[in-house]
Amino acid sequence: QVQLQESGPGLVKPSETLSLTCSVSGGSINSYYWSWIRQPAGKGLEWIGRIYSSGITDSNPSLTGRLTMSVATSQNQFSLKLYSLTAADTAVYYCARGMLYGDYWYFDLWGRGTQVIVSS
């Protein structure tokens, strides 16, 4: 069965760059959308962005200019870089697989999430 696993630093300093990787096991990364979603403590879910296996990306307009996403199909991984971090970026970061069928969109698989704290 397909599983997703996030990896990255748990603590990042303000103004620095967060780099996260999601490893996909048990299945191919090809022909799917792969998203990043975050959740500050006690708050709701915020979609960060998505990348298709071809490398095409879409990102939350609120993060435009601070976000880069990439995919490494040979390694079955995709990654996120979020720049100029502030305390407001502190959250649990999830990776998830997105499914698109016409007017239907849903996330059918999620990683367990990784806590990121932005603090000096």
Partner 1 sequence: SSELTQDPAVSVALGQTVTITCQGDILRKYYVSWYQQKPGQAPRLVFSGYNDRASGIPDRFSGSSSGNSASLTIIGTQAEDEADYYCNCRDNSGNHVTFGGGTKLTVL
Binding site for partner 1 (CB under 8 A): 35, 37, 44-47, 50, 58-61, 94, 98-99, 101, 103-113
Q: Which DSSP helix (H) or strand (E) runs through 37?
A: strand 33-39
Q: How far is CA 30 from each of CA 3, 7, 12, 101, 116, rounded to the nearest angstrom?
A: 14, 20, 31, 16, 28
| Minimum CB distance to partner 1 smaller for 85 or for 109 | 109
Of 39, 33, 52, 51, nearest in space to 108 by CA: 33
Q: Which bin fits 58, alpha (ψ -120 to 50), beta or left (φ > 0)? A: beta
| Minimum CB distance to partner 1 smaller for 16 or for 53 | 53
Query: Least separation, in Å, of the C-beta of 107 and partner 1?
Result: 6
Query: Least separation, in Å, of the C-beta of 115 and partner 1?
Result: 11
Query: Least separation, in Å, of the C-beta of 14 and partner 1?
Result: 26
| Minimum CB distance to partner 1 smaller for 63 or for 76 | 63
| Minimum CB distance to partner 1 smaller for 65 or for 103 | 103
Q: What share of the chain is helix, strand, coil (3-state, %, to 5)?
A: 10, 55, 35
Query: Least separation, in Å, of the C-beta of 116 and partner 1?
Result: 15
